[in-house]
Structure 1
Amino acid sequence: MKAPRRAALGASRIGAPATLRMLALSLAAALLATATMAFAVALRMARRVVTPSRRVPDTRIVDIDVPAQTITLARTPDTVLPGRYGLFTTGSADYLKVGSVLASDGETVKRKLLTQVGGESSLAADAAFSGWYYERPEELHLPFTHEHVPAAIGACPAWLFPAEPRSDADHETWVIQIHGRGTTRAECLRAVPVFHALGITSLVVSYRNDGEAPRSRAGAYALGATEWRDVDAAVSWALRHGARRIVLMGWSMGGAIALQTSLGSAHREQIEGVILDSPVVDWRTVLTYQARALHVPTPVTDLAMGALRTGWAAPAIGADGPIPLDRLDIVARAAELRHPALILHSDDDGFVPSSASHRLADARPDLVELQVFRTARHTKLWNYDQQRWTDAIGDWLRAHDLVSAPAVDEGER
C-alpha cells in the first residue's frame, strides 16, 4: 500500500514544475500578444500622422431653409462659433459660406447662409466646418498671377498677389504664406487682403505631398523636416522677382515649416520675421495631446513617436525616412531663433494645444510676441475676431518697421 502512495507523490513532484512552465509560457504568450497589438496600434498611429489626410466630416446638416437662406447644423464646439466660416459639402454644391449664428439649442445651430442655395439643391448630411472662408483666389477681387516655383522636388504652384506699396520700404517686403496639414494654399487666402492693404505682396505657396505640388517617393509628410526646402525655394524665387525683405507666415503645420525655414534657410539675412497662426511649435506636444483625446495609452504614444524617429520603421508607416522630432522642437531650440515672431494662438484650439507657444514665448520674450485668443478654435482666429487678428498683424509689422505707419489725417493732429 505504501509503494503506490510514494509513486503518487513522485508524480505530483514532477507535475508541479510542468504546470509552472505552462503558466509561464501562457503569460509570455499573452504579454507578446499585448506587445504585438500595442506595436501594431503605434504603427497605425504613426502612419496616420505622416499620411496626407482627406477632409473628414465633423458635423451634420440638419436643415436648409431656402426662402430664409439659413442652414441648421449639428452643434459642435466649432459650429457654434461667431463669425464667418466655410462648409465643405457633397451634392449639388461642394462648398458653402456661412455667416452669423441666428439661433442655437443643445443639439443644433442655425446660421445665415452667405452662399445662395436654390430650391433644387441637394446636399448630403455629412459636412466639414472650416475656417478657410475663401475657396478660390478670384473671390478676393485682387490682381494675381499663377506662378510655379522651381524646387528640388519639382515645380510647386503658387499664387502671387502684387500689392501697391505705400512707400519704397513697403515695395521691398513680401510675405510668403504656408498652409497647414491636410489643406491646400486656399487656407491662406484670408490673410491676403490684410497684407495687400498694408502694401505687402503675398506669395501663397504649395509644398511637396499637399495634393498640388509634386509628390515625394513615399508621398508622406515629414512634418516640416523636408517641406521647408520647398518654401526656401520660394524665398529664392521671391528675391529674384523683386523682394528684398521676407516675412514668413505659417498656419498650423505651416508654422512648423516656417520655423524650420527661418532656422535653415540660406537666405536667413533676408528673412525679417515670422507670423504664426495656431502653429505646431513642438510635434511631441501635439501628438501627446491628440493621443490623450483619443484615449490612446501613453506607452503606445511613445512607441508611435519612436517609430516616427527611426529609419527602420519608415517603410512600415509609409514615410520617406526618419522624422527628426528633436529638430522640430523649437522650444528646445529657442536659443537658435534669430527672427522676431508673432504667434496668434487660441487657448481653446482643440487640435494643436497652445502650451508650446506659451513656452516658446517664455523662453524668448526678446523675439516672440504671443497674442492669446480664447474660444476661437484651431486656425479660426481670423473668422472669430477678424478685427483683432488684423490689428495684431498690422501693429506687429509696424513695430518691426516692415511697413510704413499710416498717414495721419490733418484733422487728427
Structure 2
Amino acid sequence: MLALIIIVAVVVLAAAYAAAALFLARAVVFPQRARPTKIVSVGDDGQSVVLSSNPLTRFDGILGLLYENETKLTVLAPGAKVAGDGSTVTRHLAEPAPLERGTDGRAAGNVFTAVNVAETEPVDVVIDTDHAPQPAWLYAGVGTNSSTWVLHVHGMLAGRDSALRSVRALAGTGYTSLVVSYRGDREAAGEGRTPSTLGQAEWRDLDSAIAYARSRGAARIIVVGWSLGATVALEEAEHGPQGAAIDALVLVSPVVSWARTIHYGMARQRVPHWLASSAIALLSSRLGARLLGLPVTLSLSEALPVPGVPTLVIHSDGDLTTPFAASRAFAASSPLVDLVQFPSSPHAMEWNADPERFAANTRDWIVAIPRQAGTGTEK
C-alpha cells in the first residue's frame, strides 16, 4: 500500500511539473498583452487625463494613448504626476482629444501614425514571402542618400506602427525607410493568432523584404530591429540568403539571447531557475514544438550571437523585459558592437525617454559607418 501511495505521489508530482513547464513555455510563445489603461477622468479643458497607474503611465517620457477600442491615438506629453495613494497618474495631452471617462485605453510607445511620421505619406506595398503577402510601408528617400534603405522591424505584441519611432529618428536624412511586417504579427490579411517562433522563422520575411529593397535599387541596407525585431535581424544576418547584403544593424532593447531573456523575466515573476530552465528545454524540444504548434523546433541558448557587420545597440538599464546585462555582454564580446546606454525607462522606450538623443546617436553612427562603427565602445 505504501509503495502504491509513493508511486501515485510521484506520478502526481511529475504531472504537475510537466504541466507547469508547459504553462510557462506556452506563455513565452503565446504572450499576453498587459491590462488596458483605465481612463479615470478627463480635465474640463480636455488637455489633461487621469489614468490608472502602471509602470508605463508612470513613465515620464512622451507616450501614445490609444482610445476608442484602440482605433484612435493621442499623445501624452512628458511628465507624470502620480496620486498620493499611487493608484492613478495625471498626464497632460499634447493636443486636446475626445477621451471618455470610464473607458479603457492603452498606453503605448508609439506616438505617430503612418501618415504623420514623415514629411511625405507612405506607399503601401506588399512583400511576397513563402508564408503570405506581408504588408509594408515604404517612405521614399530623396537625393543621393535615397539608395540607402533602412528596414524597420517591430517587436512582439506590437505592429508596424511601433517601429515608426525609428522612421522619425531618421527623418531628414534622405534615406528610404521600409517598415515591414512578418508572420505571426497578424498584419497579413486573414492571419489568425499563431505561436511566435522567437525570430527563428520570422527572419524569412525580413529576407524577402531585403530582396524587395535590392530589386528596387537599394545599394546600402541597414536593419533597425526593436526587441524581438532585433532577434529577427540577427537571425537574418546569420541564416538569410540576403543576410550578406546587410551593411549594419541598429538594435533597440534587443533580445540577443532568448534563454537569458526568459530566465530574466521569469526570475522577476519569482519562477525558480530550475523551472524556467525546464520551460526552455521544453521549448527547445521536438515534443515542445508539437505541443505548442510551433512550425520549427526552437534553438534556445545562453550563447550570444556573433555579429558579422557593424552593430549599434541602444538599450536602457531600466528595462524589466530584456536584460541590459545581456546587451552589455554582447557589446563586450565583439569589436563590431557599439552600445549606447539610455536612462532608466521601460522596455523599448529609449526613443520616448529622449527622442533627440536617440535620433542623434542613430544618425551619427550610421553616417560614421564604416569609419567609426565597430569600436566596441559603450557610451
Q: Normalized against structure 1, the TM-score is what?
A: 0.83
Q: Write the mapping of 1:173-212 to structure 2, written as runs, cut at 5 A.
A: 173-212=148-187
Q: 1:49 aligns with which of 28, 36, 48?
A: 28
Aligned residue for 1:32? 11
Query: Match for residue 343 of structure 1?
Result: 313
Distance (Å, rounded) in 2 between the aligned partners of 1:330 and 1:396 = 26
Q: What is the DSSP-based 3-state SS (H/G/I as helix, E as strand, rest coil) of the residue aligned with 1:38?
A: helix
Code of the residue aligned with 1:117 in structure 2: it is A
In the alignment, which residue of structure 1 is the partner of 2:359? 390
C-alpha distance in structure 1 between counterparts of 2:207 and 2:65, whole Å: 32
Match of 1:370 among 339, 343, 364: 339
When residues 161 and 137 of structure 1 are mapped into structure 2, their CA distance, relative to the original with a 3 A threshold, is same
Q: 1:117 aligns with which of 77, 97, 101?
A: 97
Match of residue 205 from structure 2: 230
Q: Cα distance, 1:65 vs. partner?
A: 0.9
Corresponding residue for residue 290 of structure 2: 315
87-96 or 303-312: which moved more?
87-96
Please report how far the alpha carbon of residue 126 of structure 1 lies from its aligned counterpart in structure 2 after TM superposition: 4.1
Cα distance in 2 for residues equivalent to 1:318 and 1:216:
15
Aligned to 2:253: 278
Structure 1 residues 389 and 230: alpha-carbon distance in aligned structure 2, compared to 1, 3 A threshold: same
In structure 2, the residue matched to 1:260 is: 235
Assess if the C-alpha contact under 8 Å between 2:169 and 2:355 holds in 1: no
Question: Displacement, 1:141?
Answer: 4.2
In 2: Cα distance, 1:57 partner to 1:214 partner? 26
Cα pair 2:184 2:193 within 8 Å, conserved: no
Larger Rg: 1
**Distance 1:93-1:71 versus aligned 2 partners, 3 A rule:** farther
Structure 1 position 285, deviation (Å): 0.9
TM-superposition CA deviations, 1:350-397 (whole Å, max 9, x none):
111111111111111x10000011212211111111111111101101
Tell me, in whole angstroms, the C-alpha distance in 1 between the residues paired with 2:11 and 2:56: 42
Shift of 1:227: 0.6
Q: Could you say which structure has the higher helix fraction?
A: 1
CA RMSD of superposed structures (Å): 2.4
- The SS at the match of 1:78 is coil
- Quote the residue 1:11 is aligned against: none
Partners in 2 of 1:216 and 1:286 — Cα distance? Answer: 27
Tell me by how many angstroms 1:243 deviates: 0.3
- How far 1:215 sits from its partner (Å)? 7.8
Confirm whether residue 130 of structure 1 aligns to residue 117 of structure 2: no
Gaps of 5+ in 2: 372-379
- Tell me how far apart the structure 2 counterparts of residues 81 and 135 of structure 1 sit (CA, whole Å): 21
Cα displacement (A) at 1:325: 1.2
CA contact (8 A) 2:80 2:90 kept: yes
Q: Secondary structure at the match of 1:156?
A: strand
Secondary structure at the residue paired with 1:197? coil
Q: Which moved more, 1:87-96 or 1:171-180?
A: 87-96
* Percent identity over paired residues: 30
Show CA shifts across 1:249-291 (max 9, x none).
1000000001111112223442110000101000011111111
2:60/2:80 contact within 8 Å kept: no
What is aligned with 1:12?
none
Relative to structure 1, is the Cα distance of residues 262 and 102 closer, same or farther in structure 2, using a 3 angstrom cutoff?
closer
Instruction: Give the partner amino acid of 2:347.
Output: H
Partner of 1:383, secondary structure, is helix
> Aligned partners of 1:209 and 1:302: how far apart in 2?
25
Distance 1:208 1:344 in 2: 25
| Shift in CA distance, 46/62, structure 1 to aligned 2, threshold 3 Å | same
Select 1:353's aligned residue among 301, 310, 323. Answer: 323
Q: Cα gap change, 1:215/1:361 in structure 2, threshold over 3 Å: closer, same or farther?
A: farther
The separation in 2 between residues aligned to 1:316 and 1:302, in whole angstroms, is 17
Per-residue displacement from partner, 1:307-357 (whole Å, max 9, x unpaired)? 11111222322322311114xx661x42xx210000000110111111111
Asked whether the equivalents of residues 48 and 90 of structure 2 are also in contact (C-alpha less than 8 Å), the reply is: yes
Shift of 1:90: 4.4
Partner Cα distance (1:223, 1:102) in 2: 34
2: CA distance, partners of 1:348 / 1:385: 14
Q: How many residues align?
A: 370
Cα 1:385–1:340 change in 2 (3 A) is same
> 1:86-140: CA deviations, max 9, x gaps?
123345965332112263334132111235333xx53545443211111433454
| Corresponding residue to 1:147 among 121, 125, 143 | 125
